[in-house]
Amino acid sequence: MKRVERAAIVDARLQELYPDPPIPLDHQDTYTLLIAVLLSAQCTDIRVNQVTPALFELASTPDKMMNVPVEKIREIIRPCGLSPRKSKAISELSKILMAKHQGEVPEDFAQLEALPGVGHKTASVVMSQGFGHPAFPVDTHIHRLAQRWGLSNGKNVVQTEKDLKKLFPESRWNALHLQIIYYGREHCTARGCDGRVCGICRELYPNRKSPVIWNKA
């Protein structure tokens, strides 16, 4: 089976399972989405959604957040991990949004990635889920599944993103990102499937004998 054929099967199965995938991070607007995605680094979405209500009750706009002491932000977001770095980034990016962007989250990849704590994946999530622009955010989970499904052999998320963008139409990128995440959590987990267990893995590789040793991002 060719890579493009595997991609077509993946696309069809995910559309059947998750026809209208919701955004897993609770947010009110692009600013709160940006903060939630920043907090989700090396943290589960469930934990982020448990933490953000208290944070956004304290400050849900950059003009309010910039005046909250970093120590207070850190205290609230501590359960998300990496709180010293994340709290500093939240404070600094809020100040930059007020000083350079009139308090608005920029609708631009370069300007987003110039903000403290915002890398390409975070910017991609905001551009796709916040502004509706075509983007294909690739995290470790998507990177792993893309290899199990034979959609990419990239050694890092950068190459995997390029491979997936070539395989799927631009109109599907935003939804596919979410659909793959949901499928990975529910059916093709790191410990629950090694490329031979879940439905999609078995359909794509019915004769696979050995577990997939994926190139870690």
What amino acid positions are annotated as catalytic residues? Answer: 121, 139
Instruction: Find the Cα–Cα–Cα–Cα dihedral 136, 158, 44, 7, rounded to 10°.
Output: 50
Token representation of residue 47: 């934990």
- How far CA 12 is from CA of 46, 93, 158, in Å, comes to 27, 39, 25
Token representation of residue 72: 């207070």
User: Cβ distance 160 to 143 under 8 Å?
Assistant: yes
- SS3 sequence, 102-145? CCCCCCCHHHHHCCCCCCHHHHHHHHHHHCCCCCCCCCHHHHHH
